[in-house]
Amino acid sequence: MATAAPLMPKATAVWLLDNTALSFDQIAEFCKLHPLEVKAIADGDAAQGIKGLDPIVTGQLTREQIADAEKNPDTRLKLIEPKVAVPSPDRGKKGPRYTPVSRRQDRPNAILWLVRNHPELKDSAIMRLVGTTKSTIASIRDRTHWNSANLAPMDPVTLGLASQIDLDLEVQRANKEKPAPVDTGATLLPAAETTARKEAEVAAAAESDKKPGEMDVSAVFAKLKQLGGKGDKEGE
């Protein structure tokens, strides 16, 4: 496992060269520098104008360690662990995106494009993409932005305000966070109602398939039968 480098490695190397009898290799290993770079610092070819940093004052070495290493060239200096842990920066977490001054005038147009074309995106996602504020997004959503009348939706990728990869990732994340569709509890219709609807649909279809002028035979016979019944009654 590689050990950490001291604070300001070159400045520490300058101090060790000026104030100790350590070898170039010892200083190079402690400061995480190449031995040739340490030699160049000693010759004045590198790190010119850099003020030496005392590693004893900063609590990274002790005088005893330096004395032991000066007596034995094979002794390697070890960095003293800091008493207070310094958290390392989270490289995976991105801060607000910086927008060049020349592009900032296009940012409201990009926000309008995102609001219209990707309504699933939350304000926080839009802020990460184009480096804006929540109040600006709100004013563009409800059309209270001071320049709302002149805004035109423009793709932030085309404008250079966001990368296509970042946009796709935010859209995918927003789609994953969508709530699942709610079951409305719809049930099947009763068999009698379904059958009645089917018969009505069949009758309507048969009626629509009739050609103009085509006679309904059953209706004609029913009419004749009705007329025949009336004639018998009159003969009586």
In a domain, 139, yes or no: yes
Q: Last residue of a domain, which of 175, 206, 229? A: 175
Name the residue range of residue 17's domain: 9-71
Reply yes or no on whether the pLDDT at 61 is more than 70.
yes
Q: What is the pLDDT of residues 67-87, one digit of tens each?
A: 998 999 888 888 887 665 555
Q: What is the pLDDT of residue 116?
A: 92
In a domain, 227, yes or no: no
In a domain, 31, yes or no: yes
Q: What is the pLDDT of residue 1?
A: 44
In a domain, 109, yes or no: yes
> The whole model's pTM is what?
0.39
Do residues 67 and 105 both lie within one domain? no
Q: What is the pLDDT of residues 180-236, one digit of tens each?
A: 665 555 555 566 666 666 666 766 665 655 555 555 566 656 666 666 655 555 555
Do residues 108 and 64 both lie within one domain? no
Q: What is the pLDDT of residue 160?
A: 85
In a domain, 22, yes or no: yes
Q: What is the pLDDT of residues 84-141, one digit of tens each?
A: 555 554 555 555 555 565 567 889 999 999 999 999 999 999 999 988 899 999 999 9
Q: Last residue of a domain, which of 175, 194, 228? A: 175
Q: Last residue of a domain, which of 144, 175, 206? A: 175
User: Could you give the CA distance from residue 16 to residue 52 in angstroms, rounded to a whole number?
Assistant: 8
Higher pLDDT: 155 or 93? It is 155
In a domain, 218, yes or no: no
Q: What is the pLDDT of residue 5?
A: 78
Q: What is the pLDDT of residue 92?
A: 52
Q: What is the pLDDT of residue 194?
A: 62
Do residues 63 and 124 both lie within one domain? no
Do residues 109 and 147 both lie within one domain? yes
Q: Give me the mean pLDDT over the 147-167 stretch.
A: 88
Most confident of 2-11, 111-120, 152-161: 111-120
Do residues 116 and 171 both lie within one domain? yes
pLDDT band, very low/low/confident/very high, at 59 (cuts 50, 70, 90): confident
Q: What is the pLDDT of residue 83?
A: 60
> What HEC string does the chain produce?
CCCCCCCCHHHHHHHHHHHCCCCHHHHHHHHCCCHHHHHHHHHCCCCCCCCCCCCCCCCCCCHHHHHHHHHCCCCCCCCCCCCCCCCCCCCCCCCCCCCCHHHHHHHHHHHHHHHHHCCCCCHHHHHHHHCCCHHHHHHHHCCCCCCHHHCCCCCHHHHCCCCHHHHHHHHHHHHHCCCCCCCCCCCCCCHHHHHHHHHHHHHHHHHHHCCCCCCCHHHHHHHHHHHHHHHHHHHC
Task: Name the domain count of the chain.
Answer: 2
Q: What is the pLDDT of residue 73?
A: 87
In a domain, 83, yes or no: no
